[in-house]
Chains A and B, each alone.
Chain A
C-alpha cells in the first residue's frame, strides 16, 4: 500500500443516527425482549467511498477496507450509563475493491473497478450502485435478546454506546469514532 494522500475538505467523521429500540416496552420476568441497535458512519470516510477513489485505490494497491463496529448496551442511572447489560460486541464489515469485467462497466469506464461488500455475517454483496455500497458498508444494525433475569424486575432506562474504527488508507487516515444512542425505558414485570 502506498502512502496516505490527504483528501482536501473532507467532512468530519461521526456516528450518525444511533438508535436503540426494544421489541416491547414491558415484558414478564420469565420472557425475553429483543433490543435493536442501529447506527451509521457519516463524514469524510463515507464520502470517500466512491468510484473515483476506488479506481485510485486499486491502482495504488490499496484494495481492501475493513471497518470494525463496536456496541455495548448499558443501564442508565441518574442520567449516567453505568451498568453493562450487553457486553461490548464487535463486528467487522469489509470491502474488496476489484477489477470487474462486467460489460456494463467496460462500456462506462476506462478502468473497471467496483466494490464487493462483505457484511458482518460474512455474506458477500455486489452492490448495484455506489450509494448501495456505502449503505452496506457504513450502516450497521444488530439485535440482542435479553431475559428478565438480565435486567431484573422494575423499570429500566437503557442506552447503547457505539463506535467504529478503520485503518489507514490512501484516501483516509485511521479513525476511531464513538457515540451514544437515545435512551429507552423498559419494564420487566
Chain B
C-alpha cells in the first residue's frame, strides 16, 4: 500500500483568515465582484447565528452579504449536500470551460436540467417599475427577442438530447408569453418533442381577459401556470391583484393547475407570506403550489439598501411559521436535494438513471401541506411521516441494492416497513401516504401523486442569486436552465446574474431592433400594453406599478 499522502487545505488560506471577532469559519468558495465580474475567493462564515459571505475585489473593495438567515438551518440543510450526475451530453467541452464564463452546459456542470426555460418573447403587457427585462422604447440597443418555432424546436431537441437523463420539464417564459399569437402551437411543438411537463410563466392578465385562453392552452398540452402573485393587497401586488381572481376562474374552468409565484422582498411584502398561503388554500381546487422566491437584488445598491430588502430562505420560512401561527414550522422544510434518497433508491432498484434534483442545498427548499378536512388547518407532511427515518431507510436499502441484494427481497422489506414511518392517526383523511409512495417507488405509477396534489399544496422556495451573494458552488449545481437559439443550455443564475455575458448578448444576437420588428410585423410595441380594463370595470386603481425604490432582478420575467 502506498503511503497516504496528506493533503491539507484551508489553514493556509489568506481568505479564511480574514475572519473577525465573533465570526466562525464555514467554508471557502468562489464568487464574483458585483462591479467588474472578476472571479473572487469568498469566505462563508457564521456570525450571530446567521451565515454571511465576504469577498474582496482588489479594485472595488470588500463586499459582505447575508447568505443564509439561519446557521442552524444551514447546518441541517448541508447534510443533504450530494452532487448530481451532471450531463454526459455537454455542449461546452471541459477544456473550454472557465466557469462561469462559458456556460453551455459544460462538462463540469454537476446537475442535468431539472427545469428548462424558453423565453418566447421579451415583450410585456405591463411596465413594472422594477423590471428591466422587458423591451421598451427609448433605450439604446433595445431588441425584440422572439425565437421562431423552428428555433424553439431545435432548442427543445437540445434539451431532449441530454444524457443520461433527457430534459422533461419546460417553462415557457417571457416577457409575457401570452403576447405570442402562436403560443398554443409552441406548446404543441414542445409536447411533440416528448416533453411531459410544460408550464407557463405569466402575469395571468390575458388569461383573465380571455376566459377561453386557458382551455385552448390546456388542450394544446400545457400542464400548469406559473403565476406571478406577490401579495394579497393592491399595495403589495400592483401587478395583477385585480386580475388574479379572473385568471383563477379561467383555470378552474379549464382544469389547469396554478402555481403562485411571489417574489419576496423584506419590508415590502414579507408580512403577507401567510396570507398568500391562506389565499392559495382557499383556492386549493386550482392552486397546487406556491413557489416563494426571496428577492434577487441587482443594479448598484448600497449595503444599507441591501440590508433593507435582503431576505433569505430561512427568513421566509420563519415568517411563514409566524404568519400561519405555527401550522407550518421551520422543521417542516427540507432542502431540494433531500429528494436524493428517493431518487437513488429508485435508480438502484430499476438500474436506470433517474431525474435527480441535485441543486445546492442553499438554493431551494420545500414542503408539502395537507388540509385537514374538519379543522381546515394545514397539516405538514412532517407531522405524520417520519421523513428523516424514511430517508435513512431508503439510503440503507440503496446501499444493499448497489451491493448486490435481490430487488425482490428489498421490495418485500420495503413493503413490510413503509407503514412504520407513517403515523396513521395524524395522517389526513383519505390519504394513504404509504400506498402512494409504494406506487411511485416500486411500480413507477405516479398517477396517485396527482391525487396527492388534490388535497395538498406543495410549498417551494428558491433563492435566485445575484452579484452580491453569488456562489460558484451553487451555480455549478444549478438545474434550472435556459435554452437559447445558439443551442446552449445556460444555468439560470449565469443567464440572469451576469446578463451582459448571457441574456442580453443572446437577445441582441437573435432579436430585432424595435423599429425593424415593428416594420416587419406591422404592430406597435405599445399596442400590447394592458390598459387596466378589469380594474376600470371594477372602479379599481388605474393599471400601473408602484414607485421605483428597489430594482429587482426580473426572475419570473413577467
Known contacts: A102-B28, A103-B41. The answer to whether A128 contacts B83 by CB under 8 A is: no
On whether A63 and B82 interact (CB within 8 A), knowing A101-B476, A103-B30, A131-B6, the answer reads yes
Residue A73 CB within 8 A of the other chain:
no
A150 to chain B, nearest CB (A): 26
Inter-chain CA distance A53–B281, complex, in Å, is 50
- Inter-subunit contact B29/A101 (CB<8 Å): yes
Cα distance A126–B28 when bound, in Å? Answer: 10
Do B7 and A99 touch (CB < 8 A)? Answer: no
Interface-lining segment among A116-124, A136-144, A151-159: A116-124
The interface bits of chain B over 9-53 (1 if a CB of A lies within 8 angstroms of the residue's CB, else 0) are 111110100000000001111100000000001000000000000
**Known A103-B15, A167-B403: A130·B81 in contact at CB below 8 Å:** no
Answer whether residue B91 sits at the interface, using C-beta atoms and an 8 A cutoff. Answer: no
Interface string of B389-406 (1 = CB under 8 A from A): 000100110011011100
A168 near B29 with CB under 8 A, answer no
A175 to B263, CA, bound (A): 50
Determine whether B409 belongs to the interface, using a CB cutoff of 8 Å to chain A. no
B78 with A101: CB separation less than 8 A: no
A129 touches B110 (CB 8 A): no
Nearest-CB distance from A164 to chain B (Å)? Answer: 13
Check B79–A124 contact: CB distance below 8 A: yes
Q: Is B537 part of the binding interface, using a Cβ–Cβ cutoff of 8 Å? A: no
Contact check, B82 vs A101: say whether CB atoms are below 8 A apart.
no
Is B1 a contact of A11 with CB atoms below 8 Å? yes
Q: How far is the CA of A92 from the CA of B341 in the complex (A)?
A: 15
Q: Which of B41, B396, B404 contacts A66 (CB 8 A)?
A: B396
A11 → chain B, closest Cβ, in Å? Answer: 6
A interface with B by C-beta (< 8 Å): 1, 9-11, 44, 47, 50-51, 58, 61, 63-64, 66, 68, 92, 94, 96-106, 108, 114, 116, 118, 122-124, 126, 128-131, 166-168, 174
Q: How far is the CA of A66 from the CA of B82 in the complex (A)?
A: 13
Q: Does B473 contact A (CB under 8 A)?
A: yes
The answer on a CB contact under 8 Å between B10 and A128 is yes
Asked if B176 lies at the interface with its beta carbon under 8 angstroms from chain A, I say no
Whether B10 contacts A97 by the Cβ 8 Å rule is: no
Interfacial chain A residues near B12, Cβ < 8 Å: 104
A102–B75 Cα gap in the complex (Å)? Answer: 18
Other than the given A102-B9, A126-B26, A129-B6, 17 more pairs (CB < 8 A) read A61-B85, A64-B82, A92-B396, A96-B83, A100-B473, A101-B472, A101-B473, A102-B10, A103-B29, A108-B9, A122-B388, A124-B78, A128-B11, A130-B7, A168-B399, A168-B402, A174-B403
Please name all residues of chain B whose beta carbon is closer than 8 Å to the beta carbon of A66 when the two chains form the complex: 395-396, 399
Which residue on A lies nearest to B26, using beta carbons?
Answer: A126
Residue B412 lies at the interface, judged by CB distance under 8 Å to chain A? no
- Complex contacts, B5 vs chain A, CB 8 Å: 50-51
Query: Whole-angstrom distance from the CB of A118 to the nearest CB of chain B?
Result: 5
Contact of B396 among A10, A61, A68, A98 (CB under 8 A): A68
In the bound complex, residues from chain A placing their C-beta under 8 Å from that of B85 are 61
Closest to B74 in A: A124
Q: What residues of A have a CB within 8 angstroms of the CB of B396 in the complex?
A: 66, 68, 92
**Closest B residue, CB atoms, query A165:** B399
Give the Cβ gap from B53 to chain A, nearest Cβ, in Å.
Answer: 12
Q: When the two chains form the complex, which single residue of A10, A63, A105, A174 contacts B1, counting CB atoms closer than 8 Å?
A: A10
Residue of A nearest to B108 (CB): A99
| Candidates B1, B8, B29, B83; contact of A97 at CB < 8 Å | B83
Which residue of B15, B392, B404, B472 is within 8 Å of A168 (Cβ)?
B404
Min CB–CB distance A69 → chain B (angstroms): 13
If A58-B83, A64-B82, A101-B473 touch, whether A129 touches B41 (CB-CB below 8 Å) is: no
Can you list 24 A-B contacts with CB-CB less than 8 angstroms, sorted by A residue number? Answer: A10-B1, A50-B4, A51-B5, A63-B82, A64-B344, A66-B395, A66-B396, A92-B392, A96-B83, A98-B82, A99-B110, A101-B30, A101-B471, A101-B473, A103-B41, A104-B9, A106-B30, A123-B79, A128-B9, A129-B8, A130-B4, A167-B402, A174-B403, A174-B404
- A105 partner, pick from B6, B9, B75, B400, beta carbons under 8 A: B9
| CB nearest neighbor in A for B341 | A64
Could you say which of A51, A68, A116, A167 contacts B81, with CB atoms under 8 Å apart? A116
A122: contacting residue among B29, B79, B399, CB under 8 A? B79
Contacts of A61 in B (CB 8 A): 85
Closest to B472 in A: A101
Known: A10-B1, A101-B473, A174-B403. A130 touches B13 (CB 8 A): no
Is B7 a contact of A51 with CB atoms below 8 Å?
A: yes
A63 to B: closest C-beta gap in Å: 5
Contact B28 A122 (CB under 8 A): no
User: A60: shortest Cβ distance to chain B, in Å?
Assistant: 10
Chain A minimum-CB-distance residue to B85: A61
Nearest-neighbour CB distance to chain A for B281, whole angstroms, equals 32
Cβ distance B195 to chain A, nearest Cβ, rounded Å: 25
**B76 at the A/B interface (Cβ < 8 Å)?**
yes
Q: Are A167 and B399 in contact (CB under 8 A)?
A: yes
CB pair B399 A123 closer than 8 Å: no
Q: How far is the CB of B532 from chain A (nearest CB, A)?
A: 47
Question: What's the Cα separation between A50 and B7 when bound, in Å?
Answer: 9
- Interface pair B28/A168, CB less than 8 Å apart: no
Give Cα A26–Cα B257 distance, bound, in whole angstroms.
Answer: 68
Known: A1-B402, A92-B392. A128 touches B8 (CB 8 A): yes
Name B3's closest neighbour in chain A (CB-CB). Answer: A47
CA distance A105 to B6 in the complex (A): 14
Docked Cα-Cα span, A114 to B29, in Å, equals: 12
